[in-house]
Amino acid sequence: MRVLVTGGAGFIGTHVTRALTAAGHDVSVLDSLHPAAHRPGAEPGDVGGITVHRADVRDPDAVDKALTAADAVVHQAAMVGMGVDLADLPDYVGCNDLGTAVLLAAMARHRVRRLVLASSMVVYGEGRYECAQHGQTRPDPRHTDDLAAGLFEPRCPRCGHPLQPGTVDEDDRLEPRSVYAATKLAQEHLAGAWARESGAHAIALRYHNVYGPGMPRDTPYSGVAAIFRSALEQGRAPQVFEDGAQRRDFVHVTDVAAANLAALAALDDQPRPGLRAYNIASGQPRTVADMAATLADAMHGPAPQVTGAFRAGDVRHIVASPRRARQEIGFTATVPFAAGLAEFAHAPLRA
């Protein structure tokens, strides 16, 4: 299959591009080399022998040219992470949502009717919780006063008692609580509307906390694993926010690349036009403190320091079921947590 990978020179996109090429697909790559993910002055170069065409998905002419011979698109291009502050808002909306809209309009013109979209677990917001008195409950956003006082667990909006976190599936309510999260959900909505109106098939892969070789280092947009590793390389203890008990699902980037391959193969099996979402996770959640300690051990560095610091917009726990991805597209994560972090401890990162 002839596949266009947008953002194919980025962290996840590089692994996806190489996996598609190894599977025998005819791959082309379009990437803007955005400075949030690439060093200043970076040249396009190639990924696994595939030439990178430097262009922005917001450029209709460039996208038209890239789609001329495509059968499918794997859309990885996006600004990621929490950002610095609200001054980033136009960049997030422009790169993620306007860029997706331009891409989808071009796909409609070229009658390209297969799309794999990189989405994110952040679309769930705080996820699923249970109250001992009131049952399943959706918490309100956490208050700054509570966070400053060290009260990190979400509380029941009806009785005020701490809630017990649960596991979300793809049909749970979507409630983004950051600018980045809002743009990822908007991407899903745009892709769903495009698919229904053009008779196309789309799959949204809701990535959980992806880590692995090639992560960008030392930027405000880096993932927590890269931030911790950069500290350890400098002989500093990883600084763990809140009390470190935040639960996440850390999934290796090679598993994410395999999920994209599985999704691409499954597109033609969808029973009707539209978008179908899948959680891409290991199914084995860990705390942030556990991840920091495991990485510190692998690097023989100082033990993590739990700081009590916090960021507005961070969610406390987000853990999702990978069952649908296993049953419907045949994807199961295979890289064990400890082995993946041991490899990551010494793998090359992106400057």
Residues in CB range of 189: below 8 A, 6 or more apart: none
Query: Is 124 part of the annotated catalytic residue set?
Result: no
- Torsion of Cα atoms, 329 then 334 then 338 then 344, to 10°: -80
Query: What are the tokens at 305?
Result: 């320091």
Look-up of token digits 């880096």: 222
Length of the chain: 351
Angle ∠(306,322,11) on CA atoms, nearest 5: 65
Q: Which of 92, 124, 129, 180 is catalytic?
A: 180
Contact 349, 226 (CB under 8 A): yes
Q: Burial of 333 by CB count in 10 Å (0-12 exposed, 13-18 middle, 19+ buried)?
A: buried
- Give the residue among 29, 194, 2, 28 at the shortest CA–CA distance from 109: 194
Local structure of 173: helix, strand or coil: coil
CA R_g for the chain: 20
Cα–Cα distance measured from residue 157 to residue 329, given in angstroms and rounded to the nearest whole number = 37
Of all residues in the chain, what percent are helix, strand and coil, respectively (each to 5)? Answer: 35, 20, 45
Query: What are the tokens at 18?
Result: 């190489």
Look-up of token digits 């994807």: 331
Cα–Cα distance measured from residue 167 to residue 265, given in angstroms and rounded to the nearest whole number = 27
Cα–Cα distance measured from residue 32 to residue 7, given in angstroms and rounded to the nearest whole number = 7
Q: Give the residue numbers marked as catalytic.
A: 180
